[in-house]
Amino acid sequence: MKYFSVLLSCALVACSSQNTTPPIKEIAIVECATLSTSTSTNEMPATELPCLTESGLTSKKYALNSINGPFVLNVWGSWCTACIEELPYFVDLNKRKAVQIVGLDVEETRASDAIAFAKKHEMAWPQIHDPNGATRGVFGMGVPVTWFVDKNGHVAFKKVGQIHSLAELKGLLKTHLGISA
């Protein structure tokens, strides 16, 4: 009987232990109204696109060439493995508030998929949505691509492919925009 009591106690303790997996942290979508824009233009395309919001897409459209520099534009897709792998470096950079970050979601079938992806991956910066490939002619077909636009609106550098570390991202920021993060 004593053996049975010990066994039962162990089983109850094991069953009552809490799951140690942390819950998925989701952030709110950052509205494009927070972007620093003006009527003067930069070297990015003038194509006007909607932004992601909590409930869908904005009715107002934003042109990438109206965003004031300096900023970093990260072109991504939720289906892109390399995009997912580099996201933690952008999340870290965003927390440092060293430079304005803008996301460009390309060729996502549904805005709701892009919204869920951005929230799940803590992409707490404005996200412009290009569902029909309107920027393909300027940006090309592949993702990820990261553009570094300086304070005068000039494209200082275009990184084609994945960024592999925070050190690499910070180095590109320092080299091409003169910004330390």
Per-residue pLDDT of the chain (181 residues; tens, 9 = 90+): 555 454 445 444 444 445 555 555 668 889 999 999 988 899 998 989 999 999 899 999 999 999 999 999 999 999 999 999 999 999 999 999 999 999 999 988 899 999 999 999 999 999 999 988 888 877 776 899 999 999 999 999 999 999 999 999 999 999 999 999 9
Q: Is 8 helix (H, G, I), strand (E, B) or coil?
A: helix
What is this structure's pTM? 0.84
CATH number (3.60.110.10, 3.50.50.60, 3.40.30.10, 3.40.50.2300) of 26-177 reads: 3.40.30.10
- pLDDT value of position 12: 44
Cβ-contact 65, 58 below 8 angstroms: no
CA end-to-end distance (rounded Å), the chain? 65
How many angstroms separate the CA atoms of 16 and 10, rounded? 10
Cβ-contact 140, 58 below 8 angstroms: no
CA of residue 24 relative to chain centroid, distance? 16
Cβ-contact 143, 106 below 8 angstroms: yes
DSSP 44: S
Q: Is 173 helix (H, G, I), strand (E, B) or coil?
A: helix
